Structure 1
Amino acid sequence: MIISQAEVTLEEFEAFDAAAPEGLHVELINGRVLVTPAPDGDHDENVMAIGDQVRAHDPELRMYQERGLAVPGYRAGRARADGAVAPLGNFRGQPSWADASGVLMVVEVTSGSEKDAEVDRVDKRDAYAQAVLPVYLLVDRHRGEVVVHWEPEGGRYQHSGKAVFGAKLPLPEPFGFDLDTSDLA
């Protein structure tokens, strides 16, 4: 759910975030405040299934769930990524809205309505590209597919690929393996 169509400053966002009730996730994407409920169990299972495959491929990498990231770029932003893949220990000593520079891949899983899913498909994709995060993986439960975007340049991802649930999706480097999507729902 989008709370504000008007642009919000980082200071205004931080005050709103501090006052938000537990169980709600508050984000600042492209100057707009987004509020979403905490994820459901299928949502969590999807993130964990991807994290397990990443770790099996490279034991030094971890999937950090519900990681707050500072996503600078076109506008200062704060995104709570469903998953952030980074080397073990990357977030040690980081604040709740961590520096995203060590993140190799961000993962989002759609929830809620089709309208809410557009935030993950467009707004977050663009924010992550502007923050120069190397890979963005979207599990789109509404469309039954997984989409990967990579090689950010000029605020946009230069490449993308997708697979329907059940098919294998080749992940770009630094991963370089086929993601098995048969466990995603």
Structure 2
Amino acid sequence: MTPSPSSSPCAEVRPQMSVEDFEELARKAPETVLLEFINGKLEVKPLPDQLHGAIAMWLLRQCMQQRPELALYPEQGLKVETYRNGRARADGALAPLDHFVGQDGEWAGPEGVLMTVEVTSHDHDTDRRDRIEKRDGYAAANIPVYLLIDRDAEELVLYADPRKGKYQTRTTHPYGSTVKLPDPVAITLETEKLKDYTP
């Protein structure tokens, strides 16, 4: 494994609003509008296209087959970043079955989440949002593994070992390779199928 790039965690910025104001806004948003609060900024998460959905379903099936005691929760709201001041909707959050049952509201704490997953969207903000800000938010929340399925580069980028707000390891794997997700996930992905989801 190679060391993670030396980019720093999300810089402290003056938030556009309080977390409480964001949560109230998110509660009142129409169902077709997915809002996030990342690095102190209000973000509108793009609605997934058909290939995005197919990739998410492919990964969900892999996880269920190999670790039936776990579930990959789609669009799970998580409290992330330092002091949990961010709110992210992960494309997937891998956790034990029924892990989020009984948690108040739509934004759950990150404890017990083994892995977060993002599948890039074809919009101008995906580089900053998925490749930088969410990565840093998940690391600061101490989520053990972050898997980025990068559709532009046709590769999986695997981040692990969060310490002091940064993932210590980063590896890349082209579509078609075998990807071993580290503990505590311990799932092996055969990614040849992802080539079928490339336009």
TM-score (norm 2): 0.84
Q: Percent identity?
A: 44
For the residue of structure 2 that corresponds to 1:152, the secondary structure is strand
Which SS does the other structure have where 2:25 is aligned? helix
Deviations along 1:38-71, one digit per CA (max 9) or x if unpaired, are 2122112211211211222211011111111111
* Secondary structure, aligned partner of 2:193: coil
Q: Which one of the candidate residues 174, 180, 183 is aligned to 2:184?
A: 174
Q: Deviation digits for residues 130-175 of structure 1, max 9, x if unmatched?
A: 0000100001111111111011000000111111112111211123
Which of these residues, 98, 102, 113, is aligned with residue 123 of structure 2?
Answer: 113
RMSD (Å) for aligned C-alpha atoms = 1.7
User: Unmatched 5+ residue regions in structure 2?
Assistant: 1-12
In structure 1, the partner of 2:5 is none
Once structures 1 and 2 are overlaid, which stretch shifts more, 77-86 or 110-119? 110-119
The offset of 1:16, in angstroms, is 2.4
SS of the counterpart of 1:139?
strand
How many residues are treated as equivalent by the alignment?
181
In structure 1, distance between residues paired with 2:179 and 2:32: 32
Structure 2 counterpart of 1:42: 51
Q: What is the CA deviation profile of residues 104-139 of structure 1, one whole-angstrom value per residue up to 9, with x for unaligned ones? A: 000000113243233100000000000000100001
Select 2:70's aligned residue among 56, 61, 66: 61
Corresponding position: 1:11 with 2:47: no
Q: 1:51 is matched with which residue?
A: 60
Once residues 75 and 92 of structure 1 are traced to their aligned partners in structure 2, the CA distance between those partners, rounded to angstroms, is: 20
- The unaligned stretches of length 5 or more in structure 1 are none
Q: Secondary structure at the match of 2:53?
A: helix
Answer yes or no: is 1:160 the counterpart of 2:163.
no
Q: Which protein, 1 or 2, shows the higher relative CO under an 8 Å CA cutoff with sep ≥ 6?
A: 2
- Tell me by how many angstroms 1:25 deviates: 1.0
- Large movers: runs of 4+ above 6 Å: none
Alignment-derived partner of residue 79 in structure 1: 88
Q: Would you say the 8 A contact 1:48–1:63 is kept in 2?
A: no
